[in-house]
Amino acid sequence: MNKVLMSGNNIIAEAAIRAGCRFYAGYPITPQNELIEYMAEHMRSVEGGVFIQSESELAAIHMLIGASIAGARVMTSSSSPGISLKQEGISSMAACEIPGIIVNIMRGGPGLGNIRPSQGDYFQATRGGGHGDYRTIVYGPATCQELADLTMKAFDLSDKYRNPVMILADGMMGQMMEPVIFKKPKPRQYSEKFMLRGCGAGKSKFIRGLILDPIDMEEHNWKLARKYQVITKNETLHEEYKTEDADLVIVAYGTAARVAKGAIKRLRENKVRVGLFRPITLWPFPELKLRALSKKVKKFLVFELSTGQMLEDVRLALQGFADIEFHGRPGGVVPTPAELANVIARYYERED
Amino acid sequence: MAKKVFSRPESLKEAFFHYCPGCGHSISHRLICEVIDEMGIRGITIGVPPAGCAVLAYFYFDVDMIEAQHGRGPATATGIKRVLPDRVVFSYQGDGDLAAIGLAESFHAANRGENITVIFINNAVYGMTGGQMAPTTMLDQKTTTSPAGRNKTLDGYPVKVCETFSQLKGTTYIERVTVNSPANVNKTKKAIKKAFQCQMDGLGFSLVEILSPCPTNWKLSPVAACKWIDDVMSKEFPLGVFKDNIEAAKKPAEAAL
């Protein structure tokens, strides 16, 4: 398998097509435009591939619903304000258990914000995002190789659990170039019984999220909740970097984790024993693994490109067993590893 | 043996309609099912019911169906049809669904010339939520959110879907009909059949607007509601074919043979 140099947005698109994605609908928004443009260029030349530039993000997600129940692997992509528009459809997908991949190349917010890298959509992504009691599986890749691998994996998981999966990256991840190897995707396993392709001579089916009887709706909610428990048990992913001897552990994901690794390398040169805990699945959050780490580490520093969102998950995971500090740069600012190293060093040396 | 002249269409499930007495939905449902039976397409038809009074349409239509969120039917239908071009895909939409919250999805599906059929039920009110003002409410018509009557200065004008959509090059067949009399019911069935045939022949976007009585929210008897369509509604929304490019659309296909 050949190593190729590609930008993040293009990698996601290429990985999706290789994973068998045959329906893409999207709407232009910076900083994810390379993704929709790559799809426009390549999707229609793949057998059975459909590319639609939709009239809105809202239309795109509802096109995905149709294409997904018709039997295709489907993807849409956008950036923060556009993802807000998609939430109606993501909620429907969760309710009706329809697979599909949503890519969010986050930018500064709230509102129109700006087009710089940010991590302000963590709450929206990991708490469901739209209305109702549901979750989406959320990946927070930190390298271009992970963009490729996790995009492919997202399709498998989305089919396996019949649940929407979100790739939560940011403008930096979307724009940067790194060498990548596209691995061989697994063959699709998805039963036709979940598709809606015309009933033939058989019994007709219907798919709906409207359940008027509250007792039935309650049971549907619990059924979904049980599924989310299985996902939480089986699908959490994380990376630990230099945590073996660490006195202080940074918790960061995505671009922030890359900055953190740079800071850790500097500090290690000065014999500061610091490591990184990087959640790869943001929902389900690798809660138990982080808690296990608090048995030997008593200082944690959460670093995010926001005012502190994943921070809440870290607090829930550590349950007061360790000291937690926070450093955040919201609004589209990406600090240097040197800045973060200074913050870490001060906290490291502080005597409580 | 007596000849059977009237029975339940095969594509219509054996269920009691939840619709109010005199409502146009039940007649429209039945007509679509009769057409599906006559064309023999039950097994390849996929319907997309809306949010609104017809949200439970999947309890009545014996074809594959997926509910759409309010207004998004044509987007969902687009997704289905693009993946399964040989299936018959229709979306069933009310006036709020098509002409307000889902105007963009409907307009652009039409403009792309998606090879789908839209059945558009226009009853000039939001029926399911209790009779609020719709985009197609008549001027001076009283509703729960236009208690003094629709005011053109403050509330705007009734939206003309057939007139507007027929201007789009992407559309092939557009007709406005009503179900307020036996003769009009027959015409509506013909229009639905023509629209489905247009799709079966791969000729592009078709839309049938049905002026549909809503006696409950109009606060009229079913008979008076049917008369109101003649006297008032069809003056604002004239019946007839607004676009029929079927023959023209067939020509390039024939020329290719």
Is the Cα torsion angle B38, B41, B43, B48 positive or negative in sign?
negative
Distance from CA of A25 to the nearest CA of B (A): 9
pTM of the entire predicted model: 0.97
Mean pLDDT of A212-217: 97
The DSSP symbol for B233 reads I
Domains delineated in chain A: 3-235 (3.40.50.970), 239-349 (3.40.50.920)
The CATH number assigned to the domain holding B215 equals: 3.40.50.970
Contact across the interface for B80 and A66, Cβ inside 8 Å: yes
ipTM of the complex: 0.97
Find the angle CA(B189)-CA(B117)-CA(B40) to the nearest 5 degrees: 60
Strand segments, DSSP code E, in A55-116 are 73-78, 100-106
pLDDT at B253: 64
A50 contact B CB<8A: yes
A158 φ, ψ to 5°? -60, -40
In this structure, is residue B60 part of a structural domain?
Answer: yes
Task: For B51-91, write each residue's pLDDT tens digit.
Answer: 999 999 999 999 999 999 999 999 999 999 999 999 999 99
Distance from CA of B140 to the nearest CA of A (A): 33
- Measured between beta carbons, the chain B residues lying within 8 angstroms of A204 are 42, 61-65
Look at chain B and report how many structural domains it folds into. 1
Task: For A44-91, write each residue's pLDDT tens digit.
Answer: 999 999 999 999 999 999 999 999 999 999 999 999 999 999 999 999
User: How many whole angstroms separate alpha carbon A167 and alpha carbon B234?
Assistant: 51
User: How many whole angstroms separate alpha carbon B44 and alpha carbon B68?
Assistant: 19
Find the angle CA(A153)-CA(A154)-CA(A155) to the nearest 5 degrees: 90
Mean pLDDT of A324-350: 96
Taking all residues of chain B, what is their mean pLDDT, rounded to a whole number?
96
In this structure, is residue B245 part of a structural domain?
Answer: yes
Q: Alpha helices, DSSP H only, in B8-88?
A: 24-39, 73-83
pLDDT at B43 over 90: yes
- Measured between beta carbons, the chain B residues lying within 8 angstroms of A25 are 79
Q: Which residues contact B240 (CB under 8 A, 6 or more apart)?
A: B175, B176
In this structure, is residue B16 part of a structural domain?
Answer: no
pLDDT at A290: 98
pLDDT band with cut points at 50, 70 and 90 for residue B256? low
Contact across the interface for A67 and B68, Cβ inside 8 Å: no
Task: Work out how many CB contacts closer than 8 A connect A with B.
Answer: 129
pLDDT at B11 over 70: yes
For residue B59, the enclosing domain spans 24-256
Contact across the interface for B80 and A25, Cβ inside 8 Å: no
Contact across the interface for A196 and B68, Cβ inside 8 Å: no
Strands B132-133 and B125-126, bridge-based pairing:
antiparallel
Distance from CA of B122 to the nearest CA of A (A): 22
pLDDT at A352: 64
Distance from CA of A199 to the nearest CA of B (A): 5
pLDDT at B252: 73
pLDDT at A60: 98
A89 contact B CB<8A: yes
pLDDT at B251: 84
A76 contact B CB<8A: no
**B74, B109 contact by CB (below 8 A):** yes
Distance from CA of A320 to the nearest CA of B (A): 43
A197 contact B CB<8A: yes
pLDDT band with cut points at 50, 70 and 90 for residue B255? low
- Measured between beta carbons, the chain A residues lying within 8 angstroms of B69 are 62, 88-89, 92
Helix (H, G, I), strand (E, B) or coil at A147: helix
In this structure, is residue B1 part of a structural domain?
Answer: no
In this structure, is residue B12 part of a structural domain?
Answer: no
pLDDT band with cut points at 50, 70 and 90 for residue A283? very high
pLDDT at B108 over 70: yes
User: How many whole angstroms separate alpha carbon B197 and alpha carbon B183?
Assistant: 21
Task: For B143-169, write each residue's pLDDT tens digit.
Answer: 999 999 999 999 999 999 999 999 999
Q: Which residues contact B25 (CB under 8 A, 6 or more apart)?
A: B17, B19, B53, B54, B121, B212
pLDDT at B2 over 90: no
Token match 């999805």: residue?
Answer: B105
Distance from CA of A76 to the nearest CA of B (A): 12
Find the angle CA(A284)-CA(A285)-CA(A290) to the nearest 5 degrees: 145
In this structure, is residue B192 part of a structural domain?
Answer: yes
User: In sequence order, what DSSP letters do the residues of A201-267 get, joined into one string?
Assistant: TS---EE-----SHHHHHHHHHHHHHHHHHHHHHH--EEEES-TT-SEEEE--HHHHHHHHHHHHHH
Nearest to A206 among B66, B72, B84 (CB): B66
Nearest to B79 among A65, A200, A204 (CB): A65
In this structure, is residue B83 part of a structural domain?
Answer: yes
In this structure, is residue B95 part of a structural domain?
Answer: yes
Mean pLDDT of B171-189: 98
Distances (CA, A) of B103 to A275, A326, B56, B122, B199: 53, 46, 22, 14, 21
User: How many whole angstroms separate alpha carbon A309 and alpha carbon B73?
Assistant: 35
Contact across the interface for B63 and A96, Cβ inside 8 Å: no
Contact across the interface for B45 and A56, Cβ inside 8 Å: no
